[in-house]
Structure 1
Amino acid sequence: MKIDRLLSIVFILLEKKKTSAKELAEIFEVSTRTIYRDIDTLTLAGVPIVMLPGVNGGIQILEDYKVNKNYFSLSDLSTLLLGLNSVSPTLSMEEESSALSKIKNLIPKETYVEVEKKMSQISIDLTSWASNNQTSKTFKKIKKAIDQSKVIEFSYYDRSMNATTRIVEPYRLVMKDTSWYLQAYCLLREDVRVFRLSRMEHVELKDTFEKRELEFQPLSGDKWIGDRLMMVKLKVDLLARERIVERVGEDAIESIDGDDMIVNFPFVDDDYGYSILLSFGETCECLEPEYVRNKLVDKLRKILSVYE
C-alpha cells in the first residue's frame, strides 16, 4: 500500500540518514520512478527531504528533523490502529508487531489509555462466520508470491465449474463485499485480470518476475456488469427490510403498504442475480418484468424436484 510505503521511507531515512533511490526501490520492490514520485509526495506533505548529487550523494532528511508525535491526533492514531487490527488476520506476526510498534511509538504514554478507549468503540472483523481454511491457505500463498515477486500457476473455476490453468504475475489482494480477489497480470491474455480466491486451487509459486508499472481500476463491476444491469420490481415483506436497505439503500423502497414494501432492485440476468433474489426466500416476490418472474418460478420448480 502506498501510505505504508511512504511511512516506511520516512523511518528508513531517519534511521539510515542517507540512502539512494535504487536501494529504496529494491527494498519496496518498485521502480526508481515510483520512489521519486513518493519523495515528491513526502516533500509536498512537509517532510524536509533533500536529494544530493554526486558519488557521495543520495536521499536524506535534514538532520534536525524529528517526527512530531503531535502531528497525529488521537483520532488519527486510533484510526490507524483500528485499520491495522482489522487486517491483522492477513498479516504475519512479524509484520503486525512491526507496524504496531511503529504506530504505538507515536502515541504519548499519557494519552495511550484514551486511544485504547476510542479503539474499543469500533471493531472490524473481516473473518467469515464459517471457517474456510482453503481460502486462508490460498491467501497466504498469494501474499508470499506478491512479497517475493513470484509468478503463480493455479487452476481456476468459472461459475459453471469449468477449470482452466492460469499463469499470472500477482500484484494486489483486494477485499470486495465479503470475498477476496487477486488483481494480477495474465501472461496468456497479456493484460490485467481479476481472480476470486475461492475459485482458485492448486496454487504454486514459480519463477521470479520483474514488476510492471500497472494501473489497477477499482472493482466497481462496470466491466462485467455494464449494460446488463437492469431494475426489477419486487414486493418484499417488511421482515426483510434490513437486508434490502443493507444491499440497495432506503431510496430503493418505492412504497410501503401494510406488511409489504415495493422495491426497485438492481438486477443482472445471470445465475448470480437469480441466486440473490432466491436468497430472500418467501419474503420476496418478483412483480416485473414477467420473464424474470417466470425464470424464478422455473428455478424454484427445479429446486423442488430435487426433494421429490
Structure 2
Amino acid sequence: MKVDRLVSIIMILLDRERIGAQELADLFEVSPRTIYRDIDAINMAGIPVCSTSGVGGGFEIMQKYKMDKKVFSTADLSAILMGLSSLTGMIRGNELVNALAKVKSFIPADRAKDIELKVNQIHIDLSPWMGNRNIGPYLESIKTALHESKLLSFEYVAHHGNKTARTVEPYQLVLKSSHWYMQGYCHKRNDFRLFRLSRMSNLQIQEEFFTPRDYQKPQLDFADTLETIQTRIKIRIHKSVMDRMLDYCAYENFLPDGEEHYIVSFPFIENEYYYDILLSFGDKCECLEPPHIREEMKRRIQDIAAVYES
C-alpha cells in the first residue's frame, strides 16, 4: 500500500464532493479492489469515508466531518514531516518523496517558518556510521518485493557462521535497535522468520509471485521476558569506558570506587552475547561476582591469549 496514494486520495476527497472507485482506480492505475482497501485504511486512520451506490455514487468524506488544512496543528505537521524525512533518508523511492511534498502542501504560508523550525529541532538519521554497504540496496529490493508480492532469494549466515540458501515471502521491514530486519515466510523452514539484513548476501528478487498468507507480526518487545531471565552481576570499570557502559545500564547503577573507577550493577544473561559485551571492554572491565561468571570470564580470556601465543 503506497503512502503517496493514500495521501493523494485524502486530498482528492477534500477537494471534491464525491468520486467513484473506478475513476480513482483509473487515476492511480490500480484495480478498484485496491482502491477499496485504501478507503478501508483511510477509515481506520480516523477519517470517515462513506460510499454511495448507483448512478452518481462514489466515495466522499462525511459531511459532518469536513476536514481542511487547518485541521493539522503545527505539532501534527512537524511530527509527520519528521517521520517522512527520516524514512526518505534511508529508503529511497518516489512514493515517499511525493508524500513528503504533498504533506508540505498542507502548510499554510503563515505557519511555514514555525513548522520548519520545529522540524529542524529533531533530526532522525537512520543510516549507519559504517558497516555493510548492501543494506541500502537491499532495503530497496525488499521494498519492491513487498509491493509486488514477489519471492526473494538470498544466502543467510545464521549462528556459528552456518550459511544456507533461502527463498522467502517478504511481509514486513523492521528497524529495531539500529538494525534492519525482514519478517518473511521461509520456504526452507516452512515457518515465519525474522532475518537480519546484514547477514544476507546475494539478495535477488524472483519472477515468481506469491499469494499473501495470514501472519502475526514478530514480537519485538522483550522487556518483560528480560526482567525474568536477567540477573545482576557486579563489575568494576574504569571511568574511560563509562560512556559506553551507559548504553547497557542506567546511571543509577553506577557507584564511584575511588577517583578512577566505578562499581556497576550490570544486567546479565549467561550467553555468548553478554559475555562478548564484557570482553569488548578489555582490561577496563573486571567481573567481581558471582564467582562462576568471574571464572568463565578468566577462561575465555585465557583462550584468547592462547590464540596469540600460538
What TM-score range do you get, normalising by the shorter chain?
A: 0.7 to 0.9
CA–CA separation in structure 1 for the residues paired with 2:85 and 2:187: 35
Tell me what 2:44 maps to: 41
| 2:118 is aligned with 1:118 | yes
TM-score when normalising by structure 1: 0.82
1:18 partner amino acid? I
The answer as to whether partners of 2:86 and 2:126 remain within 8 angstroms in 1 is: yes
The answer as to whether partners of 1:233 and 1:262 remain within 8 angstroms in 2 is: yes
When residues 138 and 41 of structure 1 are mapped into structure 2, their CA distance, relative to the original with a 3 A threshold, is closer
The answer as to whether partners of 2:49 and 2:59 remain within 8 angstroms in 1 is: yes
Count of residues in correspondence between the two structures: 302
3-state secondary structure, aligned to 2:246: helix
When residues 65 and 223 of structure 1 are mapped into structure 2, their CA distance, relative to the original with a 3 A threshold, is closer
The answer as to whether partners of 1:169 and 1:185 remain within 8 angstroms in 2 is: yes
When residues 209 and 19 of structure 1 are mapped into structure 2, their CA distance, relative to the original with a 3 A threshold, is farther
CA–CA separation in structure 2 for the residues paired with 1:270 and 1:87: 34
Residue 302 of structure 1 and its aligned partner are, at CA, apart by: 2.7
CA–CA separation in structure 1 for the residues paired with 2:49 and 2:286: 63
Tell me what 1:288 maps to: 289
Q: Counterparts in 2 of 1:60-75, with a 5 A limit? A: 60-62=60-62, 67-75=67-75
The answer as to whether partners of 2:149 and 2:209 remain within 8 angstroms in 1 is: yes
3-state secondary structure, aligned to 1:235: strand
CA–CA separation in structure 1 for the residues paired with 2:211 and 2:234: 50
Tell me what 2:243 maps to: 242
Residue 64 of structure 1 and its aligned partner are, at CA, apart by: 9.5
The answer as to whether partners of 1:156 and 1:164 remain within 8 angstroms in 2 is: yes
Q: Please give the root-mean-square deviation of Cα atoms over the aligned residues, in Å.
A: 3.5
When residues 277 and 171 of structure 1 are mapped into structure 2, their CA distance, relative to the original with a 3 A threshold, is same
Deviations 1:191-234 (A, max 9, x none): 32101111111112221112233231342247997965433221
Residue 134 of structure 1 and its aligned partner are, at CA, apart by: 1.9
1:298 partner amino acid? R
Gaps of 5+ in 2: none
CA–CA separation in structure 2 for the residues paired with 1:30 and 1:242: 50
Tell me what 2:269 maps to: 268
| 2:88 is aligned with 1:88 | yes
Tell me what 2:105 maps to: 105
CA–CA separation in structure 2 for the residues paired with 1:39 and 1:82: 21
The answer as to whether partners of 2:90 and 2:127 remain within 8 angstroms in 1 is: no
TM-score when normalising by structure 2: 0.82
2:104 partner amino acid? K
